[in-house]
Amino acid sequence: MKELITDTDSSGKRLDAWLSAQLTPDLSRNRIQSLISGGQVSIDGKPIRETKHKLREGLRVTIEIPEPEDAAPKGEDIALDILYEDADLIVINKPAGLVVHPGNGNWTGTLVNALIHHCGDTLSGIGGVRRPGIVHRLDKETSGIMVVAKNDLSHRHLSAQFADHGRTNDLERAYLAIVWGTPDRTTGTIDAPLGRSHRDRTKQAVVHEEREDARHAVTHFEVKERYAAKEDATALASLVECRLETGRTHQIRVHMAHTGHPLVGDLEYGSSYKTKANKLDEPLQSIVKGFTRQALHARLLAFEHPSTGELLRFEAPAPQDMAELIKAFRERT
């Protein structure tokens, strides 16, 4: 329980706004509003359920903060590659094939299930629920580095950094992608809005900027290696590093496909290249056909620690399946 006394400056202020100013950063305004609506906030011993209730000087305000409820998903003993962990957050290297959050068709066996089991009581609650705070996601078949919050303060702080996309903070994200062909420039920027595909509503597509669902999307890329390069500056495939200025669903996959260079193994956005493997020499042909996911790996993540302000930076090399694919393309060169 917390107890506060209003002063002269409190007069005329809304209850939720005043409590938010008093209790930040421990509780978010949404959390405070939920506590008020739930009858956990009293003034002079009387529960007040109106968030807009106006205050005056000399009131005794008490807040009952219940223990975090158990998360709806159940914890599962799933192995995690943990790069860093403390009381505020956990950084993991997610393998391809692991879904981040429970949803249609994937109610168990997800990263969230694994984190609930691993973190246990160190999860102090996100919005009153003892669950991990997912601030960004990777597609099921994308591997690489993710950070997850363990409490409300970390969740809000990290979410703000990701929403800013590194424009005014130290957030940095870099991905490795193997694409068919090669961009005509070594470095470049793809600035193309994304929205729902008319052909398949489960997919994204580059859309006209004036369309109602168009969302600003910018990807910066740099060609790191070209495989089987020719004198006319074309190539069989390329290793590309992509850095996000925005974080839209399937952004890198859609943007690279839009340029005519879809990711190797991406059957959603590069299905027209599926037969390209049939023309490859062995053993590259078998390796490419056996690579059953998009060739995308989140190799770098840097951000400011929500409590200490320290800049944390993590890197993870390409996993074995992608490393073998890179090696096969190099040998084809």
Q: Which residues are catalytic?
A: 139
Cα-to-chain-centroid distance, residue 192 = 20
